């Protein structure tokens, strides 16, 4: 009798534990995902599709005589955010000689384009303003920035003297104020 | 708490890995040639014409030396490339201080940090003096410009009174706001200017600018400018408007449309202004090599003057 009682208690405990574990796992699965990130290095066609040519800041400036002066590596980063959070982005890209290729966040990227303002006629001025606004709207604003709930597409730009010696390798590390962490390898052949 | 520790550790580790390597000093050369030709039936002649330099060709040579947070920028320019009459239009020493919290520029400046985007009110391009920019928080850039009057039009004792105080605040995802006050000592006039450039909506450009000159004078002039454009794929429609509250009152309305196909853009505007003035201005541009363009344009106005031309802009 006493043995049977013990067995019953053991069964109750085991079943309770299973229920508890199941509920625990289920609750993790059902918890709203706070953050999702997709990272992709863009090819030339994808870069051109960002915007019309005259206002697209992600196409390298060039010159008739010297051709391309710098080379851009453009990374598309898509965020899906459920709760307001702080995002930290760090990148490290080195060419085949181990030379560091820096990131140009929004402010540096605007300064970069300032030197190519070019003509002062009305049409050129308007296109330049549109190019600047597109940078403000789509370029990664800084190494740390806050995002409210929603879906966002940003571009991260590395700029090196043309041509960047291939293969260039590096990675992008993205972390959030909620502890999520992603490290994405970049391999440019 | 645990998550905060994880985040701090992550930042610390990543920060250590990415402690920026000091970039090597860089000397960059660049330049621009703007030339072309134009015909008008008013003079019935075909002449050399650059859209930036009038009846001439502009040639520009730039040198930029950057060593970490300090640098030098020089520009030699001629507005008549058929001569060797070059002049120095920029000669700037600059530096970023306190982890880029402040920037100084001294010399013949090239700065437009506090300028309005459309009409460049408040631009320091070509002005001689010292500029201090302070960036206390992200997006805010405020400071002062003290001119050094090389033309001696302003007595030396009055130079400090001729300072400009200005700033720009970029509110991420909303708008850029610019405001400035040029104290002005005769013959320089006192000027207040400002602008709002809306960045909240993708594909929409919306700018309002104001410039009030001669504040202390009863005959002051207030210019208000508005520009808006909306892109729907390859098609963009917009309008530029201006009102000048002075003597006399003036106004301009210029609706515009443009269509982009790959590297080509065709467009035009119809401008109507006070005094029964009007003009029709179609154009087509083709991007040869990213920043080098060929532009064909024409214009017909209320005085029956027909103009057409080709403008070439080469960056090298």
Question: What share of chain B has pLDDT > 90, as a percent?
Answer: 57
Provide the shortest C-alpha distance from residue A94 to chain B (in Å). 11
pLDDT (0 to 100) of residue B12: 44
* Higher per-residue pLDDT: B30 or B299: B299
By the CB < 8 Å criterion, does A177 face chain B? yes
CA distance B92 to B69: 14
Q: Residue B223's closest CA among B241, B210, B208, B239?
A: B210
Q: Contact, B270 vs B288, CB < 8 A?
A: no
Considering CB atoms only, which of B18, B112, B118 is closest to A90? B18
Note the helical H segments in A72-167. Answer: 106-114, 122-138
pLDDT (0 to 100) of residue B287: 83
pLDDT (0 to 100) of residue B84: 74
CA distance A73 to A78: 16
Which residues have CB under 8 Å from A46's CB, separation 6+?
A: A76
Provide the shortest C-alpha distance from residue A61 to chain B (in Å). 5
How many CB atoms within 10 Å of residue B229?
A: 21
Provide the shortest C-alpha distance from residue B97 to chain A (in Å). 16
pLDDT (0 to 100) of residue B19: 46
Lowest mean pLDDT across A111-115, B72-76, B224-228? A111-115
Provide the shortest C-alpha distance from residue B169 to chain A (in Å). 12
Residues of B in contact with A99 (CB under 8 A): none
Question: What share of chain B has pLDDT > 70, as a percent?
Answer: 86
Residue B172 pLDDT exceeds 80: yes
What is the per-residue pLDDT across B94-125, written as a single tens digit (0 to 9) for each? 999 998 899 999 999 988 899 999 999 999 99
Residue of B nearest to A108 (CA): B100
pLDDT (0 to 100) of residue A53: 83
Q: Contact, B51 vs A121, CB < 8 A?
A: yes
Instruction: Tell me whether 0.95 is exceeded by the ipTM.
Output: no
Using pLDDT thresholds of 50, 70 and 90, give the confidence band for residue B202: confident
Q: Is A20 helix (H, G, I), strand (E, B) or coil?
A: helix
List the pLDDT tens digit at each of the 189 positions of chain A: 456 666 666 676 666 666 554 444 444 444 456 789 999 999 999 999 999 888 899 998 876 666 778 899 999 999 999 999 999 999 989 999 999 999 999 989 998 888 777 667 788 888 899 999 999 999 999 999 999 999 999 999 999 988 999 899 999 999 999 888 999 998 888
pLDDT (0 to 100) of residue A69: 80
By the CB < 8 Å criterion, does B55 face chain A? no
Lowest mean pLDDT across A97-106, B4-13, B71-80? B4-13
Provide the shortest C-alpha distance from residue A74 to chain B (in Å). 16
Tokens for B133?
């920019």
Tokens for B258?
């443009």
pLDDT (0 to 100) of residue B153: 66
- How high does pLDDT run on average in chain B? 86
By the CB < 8 Å criterion, does A143 face chain B? no
By the CB < 8 Å criterion, does B77 face chain A? no
Interface of B with A in 273-292 (CB under 8 A): 283, 285, 287-292
pLDDT (0 to 100) of residue B169: 96
Put simply, the answer to whether B6 touches A119 (Cβ < 8 Å) is no
By the CB < 8 Å criterion, does A22 face chain B? no
CA distance B151 to A109: 36
By the CB < 8 Å criterion, does B46 face chain A? no
pLDDT (0 to 100) of residue A39: 94
Interface of B with A in 158-197 (CB under 8 A): 170, 172-173, 176, 197
CA distance B95 to B13: 30
Lowest mean pLDDT across A25-39, A49-63, B48-62, B160-174? A25-39
Residue B176 pLDDT exceeds 90: yes
pLDDT (0 to 100) of residue B227: 96
| Residue B310 φ/ψ, nearest 5 degrees | -130, 130
pLDDT (0 to 100) of residue B4: 42
By the CB < 8 Å criterion, does A115 face chain B? yes
What is the per-residue pLDDT across A45-85, written as a single tens digit (0 to 9) for each? 999 999 988 889 999 887 666 677 889 999 999 999 999 99
Considering CB atoms only, which of B17, B117, B314 is closest to A92? B17
Residue B7 pLDDT exceeds 80: no
pLDDT (0 to 100) of residue B76: 93
> What is the per-residue burial (b if ≥16 Cβ within 10 Å, else e) of A59-81?
bbbbbbeeebbbbbbbbbbebeb
Residue B126 pLDDT exceeds 60: yes
Q: How far is CA B262 from CA A126, B149, B214, B225, in A?
A: 18, 47, 46, 31
pLDDT (0 to 100) of residue B106: 96
Residue B58 pLDDT exceeds 90: no
Residues of B in contact with A133 (CB under 8 A): 197, 199, 205
**Over residues B179-190, mean pLDDT:** 78
């Amino acid at each position: 009798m006493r043995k049977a009682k013990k067995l019953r208690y053991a069964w109750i405990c085991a079943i309770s534990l299973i229920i508890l574990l199941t509920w625990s796992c289920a609750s993790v699965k059902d918890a709203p995902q706070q953050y999702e990130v997709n990272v992709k290095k863009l090819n030339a066609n994808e870069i051109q599709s960002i915007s019309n040519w005259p206002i697209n800041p992600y196409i390298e400036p060039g010159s008739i005589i010297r051709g391309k002066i710098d080379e851009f590596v453009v990374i598309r980063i898509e965020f899906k955010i459920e709760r307001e959070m702080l995002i930290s982005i760090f990148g490290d890209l080195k060419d085949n000689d181990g030379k560091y290729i820096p990131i140009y966040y929004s402010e540096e990227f605007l300064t970069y384009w300032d030197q190519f303002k070019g003509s002062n006629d009305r049409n050129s001025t308007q296109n330049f303003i549109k190019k600047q606004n597109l940078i403000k709207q789509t370029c990664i604003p800084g190494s740390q920035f806050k995002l409210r709930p929603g879906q966002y597409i940003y571009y991260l730009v590395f700029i090196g003297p043309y041509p960047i010696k291939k293969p260039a390798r590096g990675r992008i590390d993205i972390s959030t104020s909620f502890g999520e962490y992603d490290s994405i390898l970049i391999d440019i052949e | 708490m645990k998550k905060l520790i994880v985040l701090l550790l992550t930042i610390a580790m990543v920060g250590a890995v990415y402690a920026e390597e000091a970039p090597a000093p860089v000397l960059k050369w660049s330049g621009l040639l703007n030339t072309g030709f134009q015909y008008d039936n008013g003079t019935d002649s075909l002449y050399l014409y650059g859209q930036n330099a009038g009846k001439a060709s502009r040639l520009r040579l730039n040198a930029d030396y950057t060593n970490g947070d300090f640098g030098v920028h020089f520009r030699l320019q001629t507005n008549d490339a058929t001569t060797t009459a070059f002049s120095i239009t920029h000669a700037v020493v600059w530096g970023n201080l306190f982890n880029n919290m402040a920037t100084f520029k001294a010399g013949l400046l090239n700065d437009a940090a506090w300028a309005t985007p459309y009409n460049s009110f408040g631009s320091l391009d070509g002005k001689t003096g010292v500029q201090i920019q302070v960036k206390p928080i992200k997006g805010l850039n405020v400071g002062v410009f003290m001119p050094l009057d090389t033309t001696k039009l302003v007595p030396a004792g009055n130079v400090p009174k001729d300072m400009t105080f200005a700033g720009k605040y970029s509110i991420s995802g909303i708008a850029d706001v610019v405001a400035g006050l040029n104290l002005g000592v005769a013959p320089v006039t006192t000027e207040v200017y400002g602008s709002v450039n809306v960045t909240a909506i993708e594909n929409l450009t919306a700018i309002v600018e104001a410039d009030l000159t001669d504040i202390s004078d009863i005959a002051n002039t207030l210019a208000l400018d508005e520009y808006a454009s909306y892109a729907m794929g390859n098609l963009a429609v917009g309008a530029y408007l201006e009102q000048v509250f002075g003597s006399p009152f003036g106004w301009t309305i210029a609706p515009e449309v443009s269509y982009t196909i790959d590297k080509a853009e065709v467009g035009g505007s119809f401008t109507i202004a006070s005094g029964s003035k009007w003009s029709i201005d179609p154009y087509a541009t083709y991007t040869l090599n990213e920043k080098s363009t060929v532009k064909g344009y024409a214009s017909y106005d209320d005085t029956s003057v027909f103009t057409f031309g080709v403008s070439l802009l080469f960056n090298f």
